[in-house]
Chains A and B, each alone.
Chain A
Amino acid sequence: MALLFMILPLVGFAQHDLSDKPLKQNEPTAQKADIVLGMSGAFSGTSARLGSALYNGMSVYFEHINAQGGINGRSIRLQEYDDGYDPEPAIKNTLKLIEEDKVSALIGYIGTPTVTRVLPLLNIYDNKNLLLFFPFTGAEPQRQPPFSAYAYNLRPSYRQETRGLVDHLVNIGRDRIAVFYQADAYGRSGWDGVRRALKEHGLSIVGEATYRRGTPYDESFNQQVEILRESTPDVVISIGAYAAAAGFIRDSRNADWAVPIANISFVDSESLLGLLVAESSSSGRDYTANLINSEVVPNYHDDSYPAALEYRRLMQENDLEELGFVSFEGYLNAKLMVEILRRTGGDINRANIKSTMNTLVDHDIGIGERVHFSEANNQGLQSVYFNTVQDGHYVSIDDWSGWSPGVPPL
């Protein structure tokens, strides 16, 4: 299964030989120094696929740009390190990227607990003018002062995702909402998002259960199922990583609990689906029913989006068959990063970035919704997309009425 997600190494060197393919070496053609971007993410542990997918999505686009001559003749090099979705290694990796690799910017960090711990470092390294671009998390710390000054987000926040979910669910009458969440800052962000959204409807969370970060799929989640089931919710919103989220879905269904379970974008929908499909085929029970997934990028199979077409083409050109929302988000991150590099001439610092970012108003990255940054807004996209699984694939939920409590489950 690990081979499903392969890393396409960029120019220079790659730290992780996760690919079974020969490295595609592109020697720098220009005399000018590379633009080095640093990434720390989960390339091992229970969220390893997340790191690979995001990395692949970014690297196919940087590769594409490098092949066209880079930015003003400078190649883009993505230096990545593994933190296993743990805060401590994430801090060490960041220090290494800053001190040793002398990166121009940080990009594609993964996870709330990791990012929230790295942000204060950027504060400390204020004089280095380092910025964190497009972290793969919807948490608030990098969206709000004081750390909003050190980060730019592309994806919508968890609050937006959870609000979207809560609003739709409450509207169709599913107002008893319970939360299954990871016992850390990520889980708390999602929990907080649900709480806030419910509060606007005059509601509160009816039940909650947690799991420890890094809990593998094989572990039992019966306790959590039991705790949540006691509160008799209409729906469970799951703020988890794919392994635990899939485990929780498995144990819920095994307990004959068909309650709709909604996941948010961080879950890595393809990885989640992969585990559930495998479980379905081995046990004969359908674990993919009654699932709702919120996404922060549109469906990459939708040909009406030029970005989706280009993403699929680049992935195909690089023999990366496993497409997904995460790698598509990586591709979009890279695409916007390249645009920023172009606009700044490759020289990124906090002095010039603000003005550059402020020029990114109504910028089209090929997904319909246009990117918009402003002085007060460090998040480019605002739209949240909702999908469900049909016949082993994610399809958009266009009509929520089918999810009303009275309607029999799909």
Chain B
Amino acid sequence: MIGQAGVPVSRLFKKTLIVVVVLFGLISTSISILSAWSIYTGMTQEFDVKGHSIGSILAEASIAALMADNPAALQSTIDEYLGVEGVSHVLIADRAGDIVAHTFVPGIPNDIAQLTHNLKLDLVNHRAGTFDNDIHEMERHQNIVSPILGGEAGYVLVGMDKSLIKDQILSIILQQQGIVLLLMILSIIITYFLIDKISQPLTVLNRHAEKLASVDIENIDCFKHEIARLTSHSHDEIGELAKSFIFMEDALAESVKTLASNVAAQERINTELAVAREIQLKMLPDQATLKKLHKNVIVYAMVRSAKEVGGDLFDCFYLGEHGADSKTGEFGRKLFFVIGDVAGKGVPAALFMSMTCTLLRTKANNYSQPGDLLQSVNRELCVNNDACMFVTVFCGVLDLQTGKLVYCSAGHDSPFVLSPADGVTNLECKPGIALGVLDKAVYENGNHQLSSSDTLFLYTDGVTEAKDMEGQLYSVPRLVELLNGQLKANPETILKAVIEDIDRFADEAPQADDITMMAIHTRLDDKC
């Protein structure tokens, strides 16, 4: 019965059906009660009137026949009234109260016999006037007694069949119920089609909404078409709803388009950043370049970047003009090394790092003291540094013949010296101000004498500030402890041990910052 309209029709229809049935039930019950009552009172009244009239007429018409003692004529007269609707029996008694004509078949019922017996006693005892159109109610009959000549000549008893009233009520109620039932069925059919008509657009909208998730937003105009007609056909809430749908879809399409173009832009940027990162990494010396440095020294460095382009930097090269030995003029006696960390991330940090790297590399040969170099680079970096970028740097120059190390720190963590004899020691140095902060900043040099087989371990804060899953820092003590176990190890082994330990520590925790490490192992020239 619910049909193709599906769930919305079914539920709507069920609810309406209940309302219709209850409504019709109430109507039908109240009509039946009202009808039964009015028919009952009307017919009872009519039967009274009819019974009285027939009784009176018969009383009048019977006089002559009663006087002539002609029961056949009386019978003939009363037989005529037996056909009148509602009349169940007629009886005439003479002045002695004896029944002289009646219409009962097969005989006079007991209750009537009792009634006539009592009437006879009334007649005999009181004579006329004791009853005047008396009504004797019995279970099935209403008996109306009409005296003939005031009771002197006898009486007429007319019985009205009350069961006719019941039959009539039943028949009319049945007819009414039939009509109400027909009307109800008609109403249900009309309601069904009406609800189906109302719910069809709803179903269209419903299906439309379901399909919306999978539709190609590019073709939204075609898709919209199927509900567009609802806005023109339904000038009601359905039409308004369809309009809202179309408005929502337009807004959705617009925002999806914007999102798509944003994503495209982001992707483009990401691609460019990746390229930038590659370029940046290439600015740092690779392992092969570092290997070429090997003479009295073994250098190994490692950069593990966080997601975006970062600002860690390191470099290591032999000083040129000034790097050449003043006496021998031998090139490659003095090794310049630097490690740094630009504050912040992203493109600005990368650019600042590039600038720092370039300045250090170009200026390194001009200054014999790292402090001077940093002072010079700092001045350059402070020029037009509107973004207030800064970089911490630790750099030094190692004399590979003497093991003398001159170094300077611009706000960077001081490195550790791993000595097989003395263990791990932190290189003492004045912290200095990070480069790019203050153009007149002065950087003091530090000196340290490295022994042969000592290893200098440099790092950025990405090492000590690596976090585990619970946010705990890797920390300097843990690093020192690890390094203590690596006193005799070569630089590559040391760095790999550290990075493995960091990985163990961090577990699944994401890397928040670039991790950069560099280890320089000295094998001092015997000639020194």
Contacts and interface: CB of A to CB of B under 8 A. Distances in A.
Interface of A: 87, 112-113, 116-117, 139-141, 144, 183-189, 191-192, 195, 208-212, 221, 223-224, 227
B71 interface: yes
A223 B108 CA distance: 12
Contacts of B73: 116, 140-141, 185
Interface residues of B, number: 17
Contacts of A144: 68, 70
Contact of B76 (A141, A191, A212): A141
Nearest to A208: B107
27 contacts: A112-B76, A116-B73, A139-B72, A141-B73, A141-B76, A183-B102, A183-B104, A183-B105, A184-B75, A184-B79, A185-B72, A185-B73, A185-B75, A187-B75, A188-B71, A188-B72, A188-B75, A189-B72, A191-B71, A192-B70, A192-B71, A195-B71, A211-B105, A211-B106, A212-B105, A221-B106, A224-B107
B103 interface: yes
Given A189-B75, A211-B105, A223-B106, 5 more contacts: A183-B102, A185-B79, A188-B76, A224-B106, A227-B106
Given A191-B71, A192-B71, A113 B107 contact: no
A183 B103 CA distance: 6
A192 B66 CA distance: 12
B242 interface: no
A187 to B, nearest CB: 7
A196 to B, nearest CB: 8
Nearest to B103: A183
B301 interface: no
B72 A209 contact: no
A87 B75 CA distance: 13
A140 B65 CA distance: 11
A144 B72 CA distance: 12
Nearest to B82: A183
Interface string B98-135: 00111111110000000000000000000000000000
B313 interface: no
Interface of A is mostly: helix
Contact of A113 (B70, B74, B79, B106): B79
B104 A188 contact: no
Interface string B45-78: 0000000000000000000000010111111100
B106 A188 contact: no
A210 B105 CA distance: 5
Contacts, number: 65
A156 B71 CA distance: 18
Contacts of B103: 183
A212 B82 CA distance: 12
A209 B79 contact: no
Nearest to B108: A208
Contacts of B101: 188
Nearest to A221: B106
A192 B70 CA distance: 8
A113 B105 contact: no
A116 B72 contact: yes
Contacts of B100: 192
A186 B73 CA distance: 10
Contacts of B75: 184-185, 187-189
A87 B79 CA distance: 10
B267 to A, nearest CB: 108
Most chain A beta-carbon neighbours within 10 Å: one of B71, B74, B100, B102: B71
Nearest to A184: B79
A343 to B, nearest CB: 31
A61 to B, nearest CB: 30
The 6 closest A-B pairs by CB, nearest first: A188-B75, A185-B76, A189-B72, A192-B71, A116-B76, A223-B106
Nearest to B73: A141
A112 B72 contact: yes
A112 B101 CA distance: 15
A227 B109 CA distance: 11
Contact of B106 (A112, A189, A209): A209
B72 A227 contact: no
A140 B75 CA distance: 12
A210 B82 CA distance: 15
A137 to B, nearest CB: 10
A376 B166 CA distance: 54
Contact of B70 (A141, A186, A208, A209): A141
A227 B107 contact: yes
Contacts of B74: 188
Nearest to B64: A146
Contact of B72 (A192, A211, A212): A192
A191 B69 CA distance: 13
B147 to A, nearest CB: 22
Contact of A140 (B70, B79, B102): B70
Contacts of B76: 112-113, 116-117, 141, 184-185, 188
A211 B104 CA distance: 8
A116 to B, nearest CB: 4
Contacts of B102: 183
A337 to B, nearest CB: 25
Contacts of A208: 107
Given A185-B75, A187-B75, A209 B68 contact: no
Contacts of A211: 105-106
Contacts of A113: 76, 79
A187 B74 CA distance: 12
Interface in B257-296: none
A187 B75 CA distance: 9
Contacts of A187: 75
A185 B79 CA distance: 8
Contacts of B105: 183, 210-212
A125 to B, nearest CB: 19
